Structure 1
């Protein structure tokens, strides 16, 4: 089922209202061109990925479509390979809403809602690695592959004191860099790292998590009417069960949805 149809079906199943009476100031902030332009980060497959037909699909895509339904405007998806490319264009009038992990640095230019999903940041290491736990990673001589501008790049840039970050263009490329350059660690979202480990017996996940990654919707800072409306929208979608159902519909763990 294509994402537009799926989002409509989930809205119908939970009884969520569609077209609100939307104030002009809200439309000015969220769809200034008359179309809701949604930035979709394909670097996190828990939230969005390309389907068999090449179109973007996932919970963030469904949320974008549901927001367009409620605003009564068409939706245009702008896809990006990594989160850094999304946050880096916050002031470039390239999109109206985004789906990113919250971070203090990003919040300088993006107004975030409360999170709708929480995922874990984990470490991947060679199966024979002497590293046994999360704390053991931060030591001299340990190189950690990470996607440039990702939530874990931003967090680990502040948190690590001794290990060295080695940045790849995207999170997916970070895993390839880890393997190709025989680095000591790769950092990323737990689910895709676990899937990689399941297919590659030469690596394993370290137990535990180095961070909780709170995924939220956002819009460029300085759009207060839109920010207030978006906050209410996310709260409604969580309360109504839309987020959990969308996760499940795309093969993800519904327990990742925030209450």
Structure 2
């Protein structure tokens, strides 16, 4: 087996490259309303990786980050696109991030809360998307407020409104879109976290595959591929991550 064949076998032991795509984060992936076809920055990167490896691509699509993580951890998919988190790192080998996204809080206009540091108080109910990066982060960081989990990130504000919780936490752009559906709400100023979006492989894959994927991500950032994909899909508010080690 030559080097290229060895690398292809490491990435795709089934002979087809299976990309786990999470539709729970609309900055990275969504479905076209007319065809239902997945599209977005992560889909573009998946196609580019498959082309470079010379492998046929299968998109394995999920509606929540947690399900996408489980698929790659269990090797039901060969790679995916995730927010970096130490819990997920137990089963996934991450690249450096390729995109940075802000996590924000949404409250009712009449809420007494005015800043992010006021959220972590006894009696405050915060709704998050189950298994999302900000769920994992806030589970560690919030000491007094209670966390309630919506099935997916796109349903956070629906659950927040239905249950009359105090705060909805999520990706800033998703919350801004939800404001249009639910008038009478506002975002707290600033952000409570920066979400580092990276690519990742199952932890058991070869070191050569991990090195290749990390190099791939660095090239995609440096070449302008990522910023062009963000522009092509009309994504605002997300920034290309700096080079690894920068």
In the TM superposition, residue 255 of structure 1 has moved relative to its aligned partner by: 5.5
Match of 1:54 among 36, 40, 60: 36
Mapped contact 1:38–1:98 kept (Cα < 8 A): yes
SS in 1 for 2:71: coil
1:32-63 per-residue CA deviation (whole Å, 9 max, x = no partner) reads 11111000000000000001210100000000
Identify the residue that residue 220 of structure 1 maps to in structure 2.
202
- Is 1:192 the equivalent of 2:174? yes
Match of 1:242 among 216, 220, 225: 225
In the TM superposition, residue 173 of structure 1 has moved relative to its aligned partner by: 1.7
SS in 2 for 1:23: helix
SS in 1 for 2:73: coil
Distance in 2 between the 1:30 and 1:250 partners? Answer: 27
Spell out structure 1 runs of 4+ moving beyond 6 A.
none
Distance in 1 between the 2:72 and 2:49 partners? Answer: 19
1:225-258 per-residue CA deviation (whole Å, 9 max, x = no partner) reads 2111000111111100000001110111386112
Distance in 2 between the 1:130 and 1:27 partners? Answer: 55
Match of 1:252 among 232, 235, 238: 235
Distance in 2 between the 1:121 and 1:149 partners? Answer: 15
Distance in 2 between the 1:134 and 1:171 partners? Answer: 19
- Cα distance change, pair 234–124 in 1 and its aligned pair in 2 (3 A): same
Distance in 2 between the 1:91 and 1:203 partners? Answer: 37
SS in 2 for 1:128: coil
1:80-131 per-residue CA deviation (whole Å, 9 max, x = no partner) reads 0000111123332210010000000000000000100000000010111000
Distance in 2 between the 1:25 and 1:110 partners? Answer: 20
Distance in 1 between the 2:115 and 2:4 partners? Answer: 51
- Is 1:24 the equivalent of 2:43? no
Unaligned runs of 5+ in 2: none
Match of 2:46 among 64, 73, 76: 64
Superposition map of 1:7-18 within 5 A: none
Distance in 2 between the 1:22 and 1:176 partners? Answer: 50
1:127-147 per-residue CA deviation (whole Å, 9 max, x = no partner) reads 110000000000011000001
Distance in 1 between the 2:27 and 2:3 partners? Answer: 31
Unaligned runs of 5+ in 1: 1-20
1:16-41 per-residue CA deviation (whole Å, 9 max, x = no partner) reads xxxxx953332122111111100000
Identify the residue that residue 81 of structure 2 maps to in structure 1.
99
- Is 1:165 the equivalent of 2:147? yes
SS in 2 for 1:89: helix
Match of 1:207 among 174, 184, 189: 189
Q: CA RMSD in A?
A: 1.4
TM-score (norm 1): 0.89
